[in-house]
Every structure is written in C-alpha cells, then in structure tokens.
Amino acid sequence: MNSEKFLLGGDLPVHRIGFGAMRLTEWDPPQDPAPAIQVVRRALELGVTLIDTADAYALGANEELLAEALHPYPQGLVIATKAGQSRPGRGQWKPLGRPEYLIQQAELSLRRLRVECIELFQLHRVDPQVPFADQIGALKQLRDEGKIRHVGLSQVGVDQIEEARRIVPIASVQNLYNVSDRRYEEVLDYCTAAQIAFIPWYPMGGGAHAAADGALARVAKEVGGTPAQVALAWLLARSDVVVPIPGTSSSIHLEENMAAADIELTPEQFQRIAFP
C-alpha cells in the first residue's frame, strides 16, 4: 500500500488523499447547505485530514460552510486556505497580491473558519503587478504573528519556490498536475527532493488517458478499480510528497476517491500509464 501519511511542514501528519472543497459551493453558496455538509463530514469519516479551500470560493462562503459543518474541529484536521485570487465576477479570476490585501484576507479567513491560527495558508496566485518578495513577506509577517502556521504557494516554478524559501519556509506547492498534464515535472522533482508537499489540483485530468480504451481504463480493469482511482493511485506512486485533493459534491464519488489509496500499481503498470 502507498504510504498513508505525509508530514506537512514536517510536523502535521495528513492522509495522502485530501479533499478539495471548492465544488461544495461553486460561485454561490448552496440554498440548502445540508448535502454539502454531509459530504464534508463523510470525508472525515473516511480518513481525510487535509481539506483545501480558499477565500475566493463563493467569496468566503466555502470557508463558512466548512466551519458550520466541522467546528469545533477534530484534533489532527488541517484546513488549508488561500488568498491572492480575487473574483471580480462570475467565472473571472484576477491575481491580487498586495501585502495589505493578503493580510486582510487572512484575517477574514480566520474569522470565517473560527480559528486563531490557519495551519496552512497558501498564496493562491502570484500577482505579476506586485514584487514577489512583498507577497511572500506578507505571509511571513502573518506567520511571525502566529496567525498562520505554514506557508504554501500555488502555480509557481522552481525559481519562485527558491526565492520564497529565502524569505520563509515553504510547506506546500499546489500546481496543476495529473497523468495527462505534467508540465510541472521539474517542480514536483524539486518538491520531492526538499520534502515539500506537492498538492496537485485537477488531479484526475482527462484527455486520451481518460478514454474508454486509454491507459487508465486498461489498468483499472487489471486492478479492479475505476480510471479515476487509478489516476489518483498513479499520483500517489509518482512521489511520496504528492497529496492530491480531489473535489466532489457526491458522497459516492468521495468514497471512490478515498479507496484509491488501497490500489497498488506495479512498476510496469505505472510506466504504462506514464508512457502509454
């Protein structure tokens, strides 16, 4: 079996399959939050110990829903949130990394999540209009003040990770990565060497790998799983620092995703998926 835990930041043991909460709210908070609350509570029952959200998900309502569902939080649960992406309109995302804005959003997240310290606070996007060192400096200030425990980054390259690490320790990198889209291989290799959590978003991917006769489907038949489960199992096998956060609003899909941790790919199956 794949290693079940990763030490996030060197001191927070988390299950290697987390939960991405974005789909619980989309743009608007649900009129009836009960189904979403049921899903996130079920995630904890299945062993999830890392939940990923952001200030921009439903303009903060996603964080509020998590607090409604789970507060007071059980010991060992890590709720990671992010700031640095504004939502000027439906379907619109705009990086916003002014230090005062990042600090303001962290304060709002603290209130919405009902915590005194955010275990993992990530820069959602690098704002090209603001010096990178200033954006990281704001997160360092929050860490120094005890308002966040660990700092993470998203959609960054190796040079940016190294620059950030000269200012503050970096516990995680959240980049787009899956079987079909591996543009950040160099970043993953760097994180592996540095034992920085690599949190791939859109972890199931798509494209030819997801076709009915594709590599994922063929291996899924061999292991008695689904293509989605095999996609997650492949990520877990790719590096011991990978912590995927598949999101869903369905308890059935949630259970399927978590069961991927029990799938062990042979080296031959891993290579066949990597190079179909």
Taking the C-alpha atoms of residue 173 and residue 99, their distance in angstroms, rounded to an integer, is 20
pLDDT for the residue numbered 1:
42
Is 108 a member of any domain? yes
Segment 142-178, tens digit of pLDDT? 999 999 999 999 999 999 999 999 999 999 999 999 9
Residue 205's pLDDT band (boundaries 50, 70, 90)? confident
Assess whether pLDDT exceeds 60 at residue 82: yes
What are the Cα distances from residue 274, in Å, to 106, 209, 260, 266? 39, 9, 17, 12
Residue environment code for 117-149, b if the CB has 16+ CB neighbours within 10 A, otherwise e: ebbbbbbbbbbeebebeebbbbbbbbbeeebbb
Query: What's the mean pLDDT in 18-32?
Result: 92
Query: What's the mean pLDDT in 220-234?
Result: 96
Residue range of the domain that includes 28: 5-204+236-249
Taking the C-alpha atoms of residue 144 and residue 207, their distance in angstroms, rounded to an integer, is 43
Is 182 a member of any domain? yes
Q: What is the mean pLDDT of the chain?
A: 95
* Tokens (6 digits) for 270: 């891993």
Is 161 a member of any domain? yes
Is 47 a member of any domain? yes
Residue type, 159: D
**CATH code at position 167:** 3.20.20.100
Q: Could you give the residue numbers annotated as active site?
A: 57
Residue 61's pLDDT band (boundaries 50, 70, 90)? very high
What are the Cα distances from residue 100, in Å, to 68, 145, 179? 28, 15, 38
What's the CA angle centered on 183, arms 56 and 193, to 5 degrees? 90
- Tell me which of 36-40, 55-59, 202-206 is least confident: 202-206
Taking the C-alpha atoms of residue 93 and residue 271, their distance in angstroms, rounded to an integer, is 36
pLDDT for the residue numbered 206:
62
Instruction: Please count the structural domains in the chain.
Output: 1
DSSP 45-95: HTT--EEE--TTGGGGHHHHHHHHHHPSPPTT-EEEEEESEE-SSTT--EE
Assess whether pLDDT exceeds 70 at residue 9: yes
Is 240 a member of any domain? yes
Is 229 a member of any domain? no
